[in-house]
Amino acid sequence: MSRSDKSGVLLSKNLLTFIPFVSWEILVHDIAIYYFSATGNSLAVAQSLAASLEAPAPISIPGSLISGDPYSAAAHAKTVGFVFPVQRATIPEMLRGFIEAMPVSAQKYYFAIATYSLFGRNEFWDIDELLRQKGAMLNYAAGVRMMGNVGLAHPSKATINRRQEQMRARISDIALSVSYKQENYFPRANRLLDKAVRRFTESRRRNLVFRIDKHCRHCGICAQVCPAQNIQLPEKGQEVLAPIRSDRCMACLACIHWCPAGAIGTPTHLHTRYHHPTVLPEQLHSMNTKDGS
């Protein structure tokens, strides 16, 4: 297996008029796009990318795992993509387990799109290693900068709108690259530093404590958006139980960001309150608890 030089020229739909017997429909083969989303950023990116590629609707990884055959779409596609947020300097644990169990083929084209706010580290290399262990490889990878979910200041509406415009332009470029099955190289961070970060953040995930204060309205939105279905709706008279020291918790912080009352938090209080402006909690719940689509 080899990865082509990243200096290749990007084509566009307009350039197809100069290429005999080639059409956009032929270049865009069957595509399966899987996503994991907490704040809605990765869902919005996956939907926008699917629309740009004229591909089928993206598939929720939590939802697909509920179905009898989570890899059916990938088995019939020539191109398989993963859209996800950078979490703890790498890929979400649910995505890792999904790829580890996924049947792969060296004949397929695999791509990964990471949403991030500041930077990533080894998320693409981690996916590439998982695929290479089974004889395939990650052919193309790209990042889309979005609003983040860790910090002290709440993002302004102007900042969110600016990131939205940047996202649309970025996805247009990514769609062209994926359509023509371009390949690229992605940098890798220092292995020792990466291991240290992973060890620290994984320990934090397993020991993360959530607190719910008196402002809780018992609306159940936290349970709706939890991709691990780790929060149960309460019976009348009971309080909503936050995921405390649970291995099922993905530490995605969706419950914090979607809580309309701002009642859920952690002892450190280092988390902004943000979710994607065009995604609804009902959308995440529906896609994460049915068949993924």
Q: Which residue has the higher pLDDT, 39 or 267?
A: 39
User: 3: which residues sit within 8 A by CB, 6+ positions away?
Assistant: 137, 139, 183, 184, 185
Query: How far apart, in whole angstroms, are the C-alpha atoms of residue 291 and residue 62?
Result: 9
Q: Which residue has the higher pLDDT, 167 or 47?
A: 47
Which superfamily, per CATH, for 14-179? Flavodoxin domain (3.40.50.360)
Band of residue 150 on the pLDDT scale cut at 50, 70, 90: low
**Average pLDDT, integer, range 97-113:** 97
Q: How many CB atoms lie within 10 A of CB 212?
A: 18
Tell me the two tokens of residue 273: 């309150």
pTM exceeding 0.85: no
Closest to 39 in 3D by CA, of 246, 257, 203:
257
Residue 147 confidence (pLDDT): 73
The CA-based angle 260-264-265, given to 5 degrees, is: 130
Asked if the domains at 14-179 and 208-271+283-288 fall in one CATH topology, the answer is no
Taking only the tens place, the pLDDT of each residue in 241-276 is 555 445 678 888 898 889 998 888 877 666 678 888
Which range is least confidently modeled, 53-62, 73-82, 172-181, 253-262?
A: 253-262
Residue 264 confidence (pLDDT): 87
Taking only the tens place, the pLDDT of each residue in 192-239 is 766 777 777 677 667 777 888 888 888 889 988 999 888 876 665 666
Residue 67 pLDDT more than 90? no
Domain ranges of the chain: 14-179, 208-271+283-288
Is the CB of residue 162 less than 8 Å from the CB of residue 126?
no
Q: How many CB atoms lie within 10 A of CB 151?
A: 14
**Average pLDDT, integer, range 20-42:** 73
In degrees and rounded to multiples of 5, residue 123 shows phi and psi of: -60, -40
Is the CB of residue 252 less than 8 Å from the CB of residue 288?
no
Which range is least confidently modeled, 119-123, 156-160, 177-181?
A: 119-123
Residue 12 confidence (pLDDT): 37
Residue 15 confidence (pLDDT): 35
3-class SS at 84? strand
CATH number of 208-271+283-288: 3.30.70.20
